[in-house]
């Protein structure tokens, strides 16, 4: 079960489109900071700040490969956030099913009233 703090960190990290784009790139495989910075019109220190947010949220890890420090996607925080969201989805699906039942009942009553 994720902690409130870990969920907060995950959703805060995901709130930025640049960080989401970085995660999408890392879903294809490991990449260096320079490779991750390439599609963005921002400095390497700015990208590094984004990577630090992602790393602090546990969404990425950085390894050591000679002179490189490749970044890698870490799936666990995303899985925990997905699990949390699924519980709310179940709730809303149940609410919509109740609403559908109510609408069906109202249609049935309206049809009966029209026959009378």
Write out the chain's pLDDT in tens, 116 residues.
778 899 999 999 999 999 999 999 999 999 998 899 999 988 889 999 999 999 999 999 998 877 778 999 999 999 999 999 998 899 899 999 999 999 999 999 988 888 76
* Whole-angstrom distance, CA of residue 62 vs CA of residue 50: 13
Question: Which pTM value belongs to this model?
Answer: 0.77
Give the pLDDT score at 36.
92
Give the pLDDT score at 64.
80
* Whole-angstrom distance, CA of residue 42 vs CA of residue 49: 11
Beta bridge partners of 73: 60
Structure tokens at 92: 């809303």
Give the pLDDT score at 62.
92
């Amino acid at each position: 079960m994720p902690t409130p703090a870990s969920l907060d960190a995950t959703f805060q990290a995901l709130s930025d489109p640049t960080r989401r784009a970085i995660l999408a790139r890392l879903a294809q495989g490991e990449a260096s900071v320079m490779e991750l910075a390439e599609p963005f019109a921002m400095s390497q220190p700015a990208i590094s700040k984004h990577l630090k947010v992602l790393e602090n949220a546990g969404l990425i890890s950085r390894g050591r490969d000679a002179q490189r420090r490749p970044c890698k996607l870490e799936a666990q925080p995303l899985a925990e956030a997905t699990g949390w969201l699924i519980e709310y989805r179940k709730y809303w699906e149940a609410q919509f099913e109740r609403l559908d039942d109510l609408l069906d009942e109202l249609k049935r009553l309206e049809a009966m009233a029209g026959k009378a």
